[in-house]
Structure 1
Amino acid sequence: MDVMDEKKMMTRNVEDGPWTGCAVLFLNSCPTVNLLSLYKDQQGKFMVFKVVKLTLTDSSGGLEGYEILKVHDADPLLGVEVKFVDVAACRRFLESYVSGAVLQSLSQHASRLLPGSQDVAMEIQLKAGMYTLDFCLDDLDLCLKHIHQSQPGRLRDDEIAELEQQLQSQALGHVPQPPTLTQEETPLPSNCFLFQKKVFEDRMLAAGDLQRFSNGVGRDWRKVGRALGKNCRALKGPAIDNLAYEYEREGLYEQAYQLLSRFIQAEGRAARLGRLVRALEDTKLTSLAENILDIQPQE
């Protein structure tokens, strides 16, 4: 097999099937605006996060292809750990990075949103695992391979979840509480779902949801998996039977846990509470849905 054939096969392997990967974007700014110090300040944290979020959305082509997992101190740099859940979005991001569009977008948003940062000078670096991708940007397929091999080792930080919610609330005005819905009320907001005539925020699935689901679903985990698999490619075909075989010795809890973990990993930001609740309704497991939503039984 020559080099070109090997490269074509590597590209097919990278882009076939469910795809995730992780990269860390390191940011630095001119002395007049220190991003790391600003992020450590409670008031500045949200604005820095907004700058990063807008930049990633610009460069990856939308909100659905990536997820910010953590923003951390890499003194003197600010590190942003990003999980990509769509190979096309990751490729668009890399193309934007190579062309300088990421740096331009970052500078523009920073100049507009951060205090005292007009015409701010920014520096960026991109890494995936041990590899500094700035050294191989002439080969995007190799960069994609490094990102794909660098699988995320954590769920999203609680701090990032709070910042995401704050950003969403700012855009929408507020996130409604779960009151009883009546015919006179306004239509259901797009970021909410309806269960038992009550409105709930359609947030991303969290670790607590995983535990409650795995503890309560028992032998019905396969039924829920098939319901989720109607709109999740990672759970179609033999995937559920393979999970059952692979984790048979670990028992029902682990099988259920791995099922929902596979769903979250494959769907990324689209792995939301409403989808799980609908799957539980479809499989007649409403009591488990009530438990996950923390609905107290009426006396």
Structure 2
Amino acid sequence: MADKTVDHGPWTGCAVMFLQSHSPGLNLLSLYKDQQGKFVIFKVIKLTLTDSVAGICGYEILKVHDADPFLGVEVKFMDMAACQQFLESYSSGAVRQSLSQHASRLLGVPQELKVGTQLKAGTQILDLCLDKLDVCLQHIHLSQPERLRDEEIDRLEQQLQSQALGPGPQPTTIIEEESPVPINCFKFQNRVFEDRMLTAADVQRFSNGVGREWKRVGRTLGKSCRALKSPAIDNLAYEYEREGVYEQAYQMLSRFMEAEGRAAKLSRLVKALEDCKLTRLAENILDIQPRE
């Protein structure tokens, strides 16, 4: 298999994305095995993949299968640009974020669902070489699909199309479900904001306004950031005790940005502030003017 080459005909390739919920009481595999849950989970996967390829029509789902404890999603790519866009989205964490958002909304979960993922092409685990997207593309290209689309996927695709088209007594519901927040945006107080990496100005506003609550925000961010897990917050408090709470908050958020790189997004900070009931500070960072 290592010497296999595919250098003729149109560009195609195959990858399998493995999904697993890390939220207690929610098992994606069990939900998919349930007849009512199957369509909802398929819709979550479909919306996520559409987001990940930025609308490029260059992929199809071949099969969704039991890979206990994971749910396996086999995807065929018929366009290199679509595959590259997917890999970039996956590498940045946007695919996992999209999965969480769509699953939380469609499953009616009050908090954002935590989802773990793994990506493979044949026997190659692509998560180990995401810093080399050209290598990942080659592995996917070499992993040619070995089957046609599963009949169950055909039925689910038809059901999804039927729901999008009508019947028309509930147009509001259809519009709401088929118009998710774009993957490069997030919603706060029913308004959509463009997501971006945190800036020095954000750090300054945060540090000026958070006060002693910086520890609570840090621990909230630490749920998804290894660099802020216990005892990192207490160590920061001790190390910068003489400089005061501004410097402690500044160093905490700076450490988050250094550790997370491109994934240190504005949406993550706003969500942490919202979870800590610091909405005024979130409004300040987003430059939302207070209502008269």
TM-score bracket, normalised by the shorter chain, equals: 0.5 to 0.7
**Alpha-carbon separation, structure 1, partners of 2:115 and 2:35:** 22
User: Which has the bigger relative contact order, CA under 8 A and spacing at least 6?
Assistant: 1
**Alpha-carbon separation, structure 2, partners of 1:76 and 1:147:** 23
Where does 1:213-228 land on structure 2 (aligned, <5 Å)?
Answer: none
**Alpha-carbon distance, 1:17 to partner:** 5.8
**DSSP-derived class of the 1:83 partner:** strand
Task: Say if 2:67 is the partner of 1:74.
Answer: yes
**Alpha-carbon distance, 1:31 to partner:** 2.5
Gaps of 5+ in 2: 168-292
Indicate which of 23, 28, 31 corresponds to 1:35. 28
Q: Name which of structure 1's ranges 115-124 and 152-161 shifts more when overlaid on structure 2.
A: 115-124
Contact 2:77 2:83 survives alignment (8 Å) = yes
**Alpha-carbon distance, 1:62 to partner:** 1.6
Task: Say if 2:128 is the partner of 1:130.
Answer: no
**Alpha-carbon distance, 1:15 to partner:** 9.4
Task: Say if 2:5 is the partner of 1:21.
Answer: no
Aligned residues: 162
Task: Say if 2:141 is the partner of 1:148.
Answer: yes
Contact 1:32 1:116 survives alignment (8 Å) = no
**DSSP-derived class of the 1:36 partner:** helix
Contact 2:56 2:82 survives alignment (8 Å) = no
**Alpha-carbon distance, 1:18 to partner:** 1.1
Contact 2:6 2:141 survives alignment (8 Å) = yes
**Alpha-carbon distance, 1:61 to partner:** 1.8
**Alpha-carbon distance, 1:117 to partner:** 5.9
1:98 aligned residue? 91
**Alpha-carbon distance, 1:118 to partner:** 2.8
Deviations 1:198-217 (A, max 9, x none): xxxxxxxxxxxxxxxxxxxx
**Alpha-carbon distance, 1:27 to partner:** 0.2
**Alpha-carbon separation, structure 1, partners of 2:134 and 2:142:** 12
**DSSP-derived class of the 1:138 partner:** coil
Q: Could you say if the C-alpha distance between residues 14 and 117 of structure 1 is closer, same or farther in structure 2, counting changes exceeding 3 Å?
A: farther
Indicate which of 130, 139, 147 corresponds to 2:132. 139
Q: Could you say if the C-alpha distance between residues 50 and 15 of structure 1 is closer, same or farther in structure 2, counting changes exceeding 3 Å?
A: farther
Percentage identity across paired residues of the two chains:
73
**DSSP-derived class of the 1:54 partner:** helix
**Alpha-carbon distance, 1:32 to partner:** 2.2
**Alpha-carbon distance, 1:16 to partner:** 8.6
Q: Could you say if the C-alpha distance between residues 112 and 40 of structure 1 is closer, same or farther in structure 2, counting changes exceeding 3 Å?
A: same
TM-score normalised according to structure 2 size: 0.53
**C-alpha RMSD over aligned residues:** 1.8
- Runs of 4+ deviating beyond 3 Å: 13-17
Task: Say if 2:98 is the partner of 1:111.
Answer: no
